C-alpha cells in the first residue's frame, strides 16, 4: 500500500493499494487499511509511518466495550419498555410485605396479581422477588466493575497493545 502525505506536517492525505503513480510525496507500507484504521492517528515523520495518536483506537475500543456490556446486560434482563420500573416496584412491594405486620394482600397490587402464578403464596413470591433483586445487583456490580476498569485501562493505554490488552479482559461471551 502507498500512503500519500503532506510533507509540511506529515498528515496523511490518502492511501492507495494498487500500483499507480500519482503526484506528491508517498511512502510504501506492508500494513493493510484495516490495520491502519483511522488515518488521523498516523503521520509520516522523517519518511517513516508513525502513530501520532491513540485516540482513534481508544474510540474503537470504547465502542467495543459498550457493545460487550450491552450484550452481557441484555442476557440478564427482560428488555420490555417499562419492565425495569415494574421490577423496582415489585422489589419495593416485596420489602414492604416482608416488613409489614399482618399485611393485607389487597394493598399490594403486584403481589396480588402474581400470587399463584409464579409462587403459591405472597410470602414465597416476595422472597423470590427479593432474591432476584439481589442476584441482579450482584451481576450488575460485576459488570459495572468490568466496564469501569476496562474504561480506565483504555484511557491509560500508552500503546495499541495496551488497548488490545484492555479489551481482551472482556470474556468471550461478552465480546
Alpha carbon separation from 157 to 1, 27, 78 (Å, rounded): 28, 28, 35
- Identify whether residues 30 and 80 lie together within a single domain: no
Q: Give yes or no: residues 76 and 25 share one domain.
A: no
| pLDDT at 5 exceeding the cut of 50 | yes
172: pLDDT confidence band, cut at 50, 70 and 90? low
The number of domains in the chain is: 2
- Please report which confidence band the pLDDT of residue 171 belongs to, taking 50, 70 and 90 as the band edges: low
Residues 157, 85 share a domain: yes
Q: In the numeric block, which cell numbers belong to residue 142? A: 460485576
Last residue of one domain, picked from the residues 17, 32, 53: 53
Span 9-13, mean pLDDT? 87
Average pLDDT over residues 34-59: 87
Same domain? For 150 and 91 the reply is: yes
- The per-residue pLDDT for range 83-113, each reduced to its tens digit, is 999 999 999 999 999 999 999 999 999 999 9
- Does the pLDDT at position 15 exceed 80? yes
103 in the same domain as 74: yes
Q: Which of 145, 163, 156 is nearest to 72 (CA)?
A: 145
133-160 pLDDT tens trace: 999 999 999 999 999 999 999 999 998 8
Statement to judge: residues 115 and 148 lie in one domain:
yes
64 & 126 share domain: yes
Structural domain of 117: 56-174
On whether the CB atoms of residues 86 and 109 are closer than 8 A, the answer is: no
Which residue, of 36, 53, 70, is where some domain finishes?
A: 53
Domain boundary among 53, 71, 90: 53
Confidence (pLDDT) at 174: 42
Domain shared by 157 and 106, yes or no: yes
- 27-31, 120-124, 125-129: the lowest-pLDDT one: 27-31
Does one domain contain both 122 and 157? yes
For residue 5, which of 30, 32, 23 has the smallest C-alpha distance? 23
> Who contacts 3 (Cβ-Cβ below 8 Å, separation ≥6)?
12, 14, 15, 26, 27, 28, 29, 44, 49
Residues 39 and 74 in one domain: no
Enter the pTM of the model.
Answer: 0.72
| 86, 128: one domain | yes
pLDDT greater than 80 at residue 173: no
Q: Are residues 48 and 62 in the same domain?
A: no
Mean pLDDT (the chain, rounded): 91
Question: pLDDT-derived band of residue 14, with 50, 70 and 90 as boundaries?
Answer: confident
Average pLDDT over residues 66-88: 93
Which residue did the predictor score with more confidence, 122 or 41?
Answer: 122
Amino acid at each position: 500500500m502507498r500512503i500519500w502525505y503532506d510533507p509540511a506536517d506529515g498528515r496523511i492525505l490518502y492511501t492507495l493499494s494498487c500500483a499507480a503513480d500519482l503526484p506528491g510525496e508517498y511512502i510504501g507500507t506492508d500494513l493493510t487499511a484495516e490495520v491502519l484504521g483511522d488515518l488521523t492517528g498516523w503521520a509520516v515523520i522523517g519518511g517513516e509511518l508513525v502513530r501520532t495518536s491513540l485516540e482513534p483506537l481508544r474510540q474503537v475500543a470504547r465502542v467495543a466495550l459498550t457493545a460487550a456490556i450491552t450484550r452481557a446486560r441484555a442476557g440478564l434482563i427482560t428488555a420490555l419498555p417499562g419492565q425495569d420500573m415494574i421490577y423496582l416496584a415489585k422489589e419495593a412491594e416485596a420489602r414492604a410485605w416482608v416488613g409489614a405486620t399482618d399485611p393485607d394482600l389487597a394493598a399490594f397490587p403486584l403481589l396480588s396479581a402474581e400470587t399463584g402464578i409464579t409462587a403459591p403464596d405472597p410470602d414465597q413470591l416476595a422472597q423470590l422477588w427479593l432474591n432476584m433483586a439481589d442476584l441482579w445487583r450482584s451481576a450488575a456490580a460485576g459488570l459495572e466493575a468490568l466496564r469501569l476498569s476496562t474504561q480506565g485501562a483504555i484511557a491509560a493505554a500508552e500503546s495499541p497493545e495496551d488497548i488490545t490488552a484492555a479489551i481482551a479482559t472482556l470474556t468471550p461471551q461478552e465480546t
